[in-house]
Amino acid sequence: MKDCLRQRALDLGFDDCRFTSAEPPESTPRFQQWLAVGRHGTMGYLERNAPKRIDPQQVLPGARSIIAVTASHASVPGSGFRVPGSPGQQLGTRNSELGTVHGVIARYACFADYHDVLGKPFEALAESVNQVGGAATRSLWYVDTGPVLERDLAQRAGLGFIGKHTNLISRRLGNWIFLGEILTTLELEPDAPERNHCGTCTRCIAACPTAAITAPFELDARRCISYLTIEFQGSIPLEFRALIGTRIFGCDDCLEVCPWNRFAREGRLMQHHARPDLATPDLTELLALDDAGFRHRFAGTPVLRARRRGFLRNVCVALGNAGASHARPALNRAANDPDPLIAEHARWALERLQRLNGR
């Protein structure tokens, strides 16, 4: 049954498929401690559904197995699609003739929303599981949408290992992977778990602009640029604004430097859903977007998660950090935006431009 289901997953376009039991993750105590000290920030849903995350039986009563899969979102050199570059380029790029400054969007968001892209093949795989198991089999599938500790389960299934940056690393695919899982009442023999292969490497820790990786395998989300520019809906703490650079949605710095990325390869499911127009967006143009324009510009992409107010908040910070004097008129308009969050960050950006440029 395992061989049949693994082949079905590969036929559907997934890049790897492994199996584990539906026992609680071994990392449960560490996860509970992480929540207890508040390192999840304002992501209250993690605390609310913690009992389910640490016990798959509360998600699917009678679950016996978990099928974990990966889908790569790496790009291939020469494909015509360039995602944001290395950490050394994260301060943004400028075209001095045109007076434009480009923002940085995380790699995974430079595609159509992976929830939508992976949903159909996941549904098909879950149907195959039920067909193999028979009429009594029940299965639930999630693509970063359910109350499960997916990285821990993926490591136990042998898909990869959790690196010091707390993300999953595949020895076959590197860091650039989406994860998904199927909880099922069908009993399947577990695969061997993956062991850690970080060794003495600490590149990810050194690369983090805000020191969010407080120790190996420990992340304080409240300091993480991905959290601050996507999940966090309030005013970005002053201590982090200059460190954000021109990142306007997410951050890849800790992932970019991982040496296991030398094995990354383009994923079959995502390769036709690239959005090259999101790789180097013009910050000043983005700042002019109203609600309808924002929804149209980023329709069907993960960027919608930030909403206009959060996204334009990020754009204001990025323009201030870029020292883009030509953006003053746009920032002046944003300083009068009806949304106080956008207006406050636009004023900060104008003050930062004055400090950087001396006028």
CB under 8 A, 24+ apart: contacts of 269-272: 269/12, 269/13, 269/14, 269/15, 269/71, 269/117, 269/118, 269/121, 270/71, 270/72, 270/73, 270/111, 270/114, 270/117, 270/178, 271/76, 271/79
Which residues are known catalytic residues?
A: 144
SS3 301: coil
* Crossing angle for the helix pair 340-357 and 307-322, to the nearest 10 degrees: 10
SS3 196: coil
SS3 57: helix
DSSP code, position 228: I
- Quote the distance between the C-alpha of residue 184 and its chain's center: 26
Say if strands 104-105 and 247-249 run parallel, antiparallel, or are unpaired: parallel
